[in-house]
Chains A and B, each alone.
Chain A
């Protein structure tokens, strides 16, 4: 059973570091965003499973030659039928670590879910007071703000897409349609579930390269998927113009004017607005370097999106997509098989 735990550990290391780095640097995900998304999910799932599995199998080794019989042995120790003397301190340590990691992952997932839902509810509350329904679009709200802003707020049956009237002033009807189909694609394809899972993955293991890279890649891929959906309804120059107009208007507030509500998209940043903005309470700490970093990642993502739309590459061939998808499938099959393999071989 030792060899199974070492193989699982090797898999965990590969999935925690070299594999996500290679995938995040690869160019092909832009040509097959859906396939890449599946691969990222299997890397995260298999990575977590092999991390926990490696420690569990190693810790249970003295109790049986496969996970099933070892678990039975462990249970007998727990209910005091067998002596715990067969387990060394180091084995108990490995079993505890596996249990803690498993609990930590589940707990962070639940915690992230609660946090996101609470923030969304608060946001929806404020939207209810501040916005009005769009005239000719269902589940779309218009908020009065000069910056060109569009986003969707998921929430089951109460999902909404929000646009600012600044956006409606800047865009033509067709460009607005491009924005709205893009946002609706996020809602229909349930991208918020992916964002939730990968936000939790990152919150649980922030020091692991894979969790950071995966979250960034997933945010980028869902934009590409939504762009592809929008392209079924509008032509590509329209979508590109919409992205360019909104992108050039939605400048991040510069560091010393973080509270400026971004008045005119093309005007010089002015200090007119932000003096009174400081009066608004309820802001915990001024957003600082972390936001700036986040913005840089987004900017790269916008560049990738545009490059992909301006110089479209052919979709990945069926063979290559099949290869990537079977790799994803293998990743999900291998850890469970390794957990019970000694029994299968014996």
Chain B
């Protein structure tokens, strides 16, 4: 049994791979055809809709208001989401420092220059 997290991931992968908006039926069919075996093939449309509404609440997908049945599309591309997430990691404000531990904190340009010299000289 796939978890909701797995389903969210599968749905987002499909929406990111598809330029046009899809409705829940089309998504269910696409999941059934998908080669990945981690998600059960026979999903109810209501399950897909549950996943979509969770994703919508998280601000990852948006619904086209004037279409029936509703069609969904991703808000931004996978690359943009990754860039945003990495931005959060790289630009650590003091009040976020406790959330995660980075291998290297931010360094200044001068520091980076010193590090490059160190690499060149070693």
Contacts and interface: CB of A to CB of B under 8 A. Distances in A.
Interface of A: 112, 116, 119-120, 123, 125-130, 143-145, 147, 149-154, 164, 179, 182-183, 186, 191-192, 195-196, 198-199, 202-203, 215, 219, 222, 226, 237, 240-254, 258-259, 261-262, 266, 273, 276-277, 279-283, 287, 290-291, 293-299, 301-303, 306
B92 A291 contact: yes
A247 B12 contact: no
A126 B81 contact: yes
Given A248-B119, A262-B90, A295 B85 contact: no
Contact of A149 (B89, B93, B95): B89
A20 to B, nearest CB: 17
Given A128-B5, A279-B80, A120 B108 contact: no
Contact of B97 (A183, A219, A245): A219
A164 B82 CA distance: 10
Nearest to A130: B82
A306 B119 CA distance: 12
Contacts, number: 194
A123 B93 contact: no
B80 A299 contact: no
Interface of B: 5, 8-9, 12, 58-60, 75-76, 78, 80-109, 111-116, 118-119, 122
A143 B85 contact: yes
The interface centre, meaning the residue of B99, B102, B109 with most chain A CB atoms within 10 A of its CB, is: B99
B84 A280 contact: yes
Nearest to A125: B58
Contacts of B111: 247, 299, 302-303
B90 A192 contact: no
Contacts of A259: 87
B101 A252 contact: no
A298 B99 contact: no
Given A277-B83, A282-B59, A282-B84, A246 B104 contact: yes
A123 B94 contact: no
Contact of A191 (B80, B91, B101): B101
Interface majority SS (helix, strand, loop, mixed), chain A: helix
Contacts of B122: 237, 240-241
Contacts of B103: 149-151, 179, 182-183, 242-243, 246
Nearest to A203: B95
A299 B108 contact: yes
B108 A145 contact: no
Contacts of A219: 97, 105
Nearest to A296: B108
A183 to B, nearest CB: 6
Given A123-B88, A149-B90, A301-B105, 14 more contacts: A147-B86, A150-B103, A152-B100, A153-B100, A199-B98, A203-B95, A245-B119, A247-B104, A249-B112, A251-B107, A280-B83, A291-B91, A291-B93, A294-B94
Nearest to B5: A128
B102 A151 contact: yes
B86 A199 contact: no
A262 B80 CA distance: 13
Given A250-B106, A295-B107, A302-B107, A147 B90 contact: yes
A277 B80 contact: yes
